Amino acid sequence: MAKKEDKPRKPGDPPQQFKHANDVSGLSAKQKEILENKPDDLGEGIAGSTKWDSKPAFNKLESETVLDSDTNAQIVLGPYRPGGRFGKRISRGESGIATIDLVAGRLGSYATSVVERSGKETPAYVDNNYKVDAARVVICQKGDVDDDFGIRPGKAGTSRARSFVAAKADDIRFSARESIKLVTGTDDENAQGATVDNPRGIDIIAGNLDHDLQPMIKGSNLVECLDDINQNISDLSGALLDFMVQQMIINGALATHTHIVVNAVGVPVPTFPSIEVMPVTLTATSQMAGTTFTSILNNRLNITRNYFKYLVPIPVGDDKYICSKFNNVN
C-alpha cells in the first residue's frame, strides 16, 4: 500500500516507465489515511467493488452534458473545445461545432483528485487536455483536428474547420472479423457544404515526422517492372554468351593461324602458328570456356530462380512473393 505522503506526478518530473497497479498518490490525504488504516477492502475496487481512484474534477460548461462515473472516465456532449472555455471556436460562440468526447484518464500520469493551495487540499479542476489525457475518442461536427492534436500536415495537408473523428491513446488497434477499408473521396461535398474537387490520399506518418514522406509502391506494377528488368538482364547475358562463343571461335582460328610464305628456294610453304598469339588465345579461350561460361549460366539460372521466388505467387512461386496476399493500395 502506498504511503499517504506519496505525491502525484507533476510536469517536469522525470519520466516513469510504469505506474504502481494500486497507485493512490492522487487521492486526498483523508482518503489515504482511511486506506492505510482500514480493516477491510474499502475503496480498493476488488472484483468490481467501489474504487477510490485519482480523478480530477471536470470543468463542466453550461452547454455540456456529462455522463460521469466513479472512475476517471467520462462522455461529454457539447460544443467543441480541445481546452478551456476560451478556445478558438467556443470563445466566439460558433455554431455547428457539436462534439461527443469520450475520455478515459484525464491528466494521464499526472492524474490527481486534489491540489494544494495555501496548505489546504482543494479539488483539482481540469479542462480537456489532448496532450496528456490518457485516451480519448472525439467525434466533432467542425474543428481543427491536426492543429489541436499536434499532427503534422504530411502530404494530405492540415485539416481545419472540418468534421472529424479522432482517437488518441498509448496504443490503438483496429480489429475486424472480416475486412478493413480506409477510403477517401466518397462524396462530392464535405460536411460544411464545400465541393470536394480533389480527394486526398492516406498518410502513414511514424513519429509524427513528415519531412521524408514518399509515395507507396503498387505491388503489381513493381512485379511488372522487375520482370522487365530481369528480362533485360537475361537478354544482355544471352548477347554476352553469343559474343563469347564467337570470340572463342575467333581465338581458335588465331591460335592455329598460318599463312603462306615463299622460302629461300622460291617454294611457297605454310608458316608455323605464332608463338606469341597461340598461348594468349588458348589461355583466353580456356578462361571463357571455364569460369566466364559458368558465371553466365549461373547468372541466367539465378534470374529464373529469383523470378519464381519473388515475382510469382504461391502455389507456383515461393512464400517470399513480394506482393501482400491480403493488403491492397491504389
pLDDT tens for each residue of 158-170:
999 999 999 999 9
- Domain match, 110 and 172 both: yes
- Domain match, 230 and 294 both: yes
Q: How many whole angstroms separate alpha carbon 282 and alpha carbon 280? A: 6
- Domain match, 78 and 225 both: no
Asked if the model's pLDDT at residue 2 lies above 70, the reply is no
Is 26 within 8 Å of 8 (Cβ atoms)?
Answer: yes
Using CA of residue 142, residue 201, residue 184, residue 204, what is the dihedral sign?
negative
Residue 237: inside a domain: yes
Residue 67: inside a domain: yes
Least confident of 31-45, 50-64, 73-87, 275-289: 31-45
Q: How many whole angstroms separate alpha carbon 211 and alpha carbon 288? A: 51
Q: What is the CA radius of gyration of the chain?
A: 38
Q: Quick one: which H or E segment has residue 222? A: helix 219-255
Q: Residue 108's domain spans which residues?
A: 53-208
What is residue 41's predicted lDDT score, i.e. its pLDDT?
59
Three-state DSSP class for 140?
strand
- Domain match, 121 and 264 both: no
What is residue 74's predicted lDDT score, i.e. its pLDDT?
97
- Domain match, 184 and 229 both: no
- Domain match, 128 and 67 both: yes
Asked if the model's pLDDT at residue 200 lies above 80, the reply is yes
- Domain match, 63 and 197 both: yes
CB count within 10 Å of CB 280 equals 13
Range 29-54 average pLDDT: 71
- Domain match, 201 and 224 both: no
Residue 322: inside a domain: no
Write out the three cell numbers for 55: 480523478
- Domain match, 229 and 202 both: no
Boundary-marking domain end, from 208, 231, 262: 208
Boundary-marking domain end, from 146, 177, 208: 208
Asked if the model's pLDDT at residue 219 lies above 80, the reply is yes
Residue 7: inside a domain: no
Boundary-marking domain end, from 167, 187, 208: 208
- Domain match, 102 and 57 both: yes
Q: How many whole angstroms separate alpha carbon 38 and alpha carbon 60? A: 33
Residue 325: inside a domain: no
Is 268 within 8 Å of 261 (Cβ atoms)?
Answer: yes
- Domain match, 120 and 191 both: yes
Is 329 within 8 Å of 216 (Cβ atoms)?
Answer: yes
How many CA atoms, within 13 angstroms, populate the side-chain half-sphere of residue 144?
14
Is 188 within 8 Å of 196 (Cβ atoms)?
Answer: yes
Q: How many whole angstroms separate alpha carbon 321 and alpha carbon 311? A: 6
Q: How many domains does the chain have?
A: 2
Range 79-106 average pLDDT: 94
Q: How many whole angstroms separate alpha carbon 173 and alpha carbon 207? A: 17
Q: Which residues contact 187 (CB under 8 A, 6 or more apart)?
A: 196
Residue 79: band (very low, low, confident or very high) from pLDDT cuts 50, 70, 90: very high
Chain length of the chain: 330
Is 308 within 8 Å of 316 (Cβ atoms)?
Answer: yes
Three-state DSSP class for 223?
helix
Q: Which residues contact 110 (CB under 8 A, 6 or more apart)?
A: 8, 9, 10, 11, 132
Residue 323: inside a domain: no
Q: Which residues contact 20 (CB under 8 A, 6 or more apart)?
A: 2
Write out the three cell numbers for 211: 519531412
Q: Which amino acid is at 138?
A: V
- Domain match, 58 and 124 both: yes
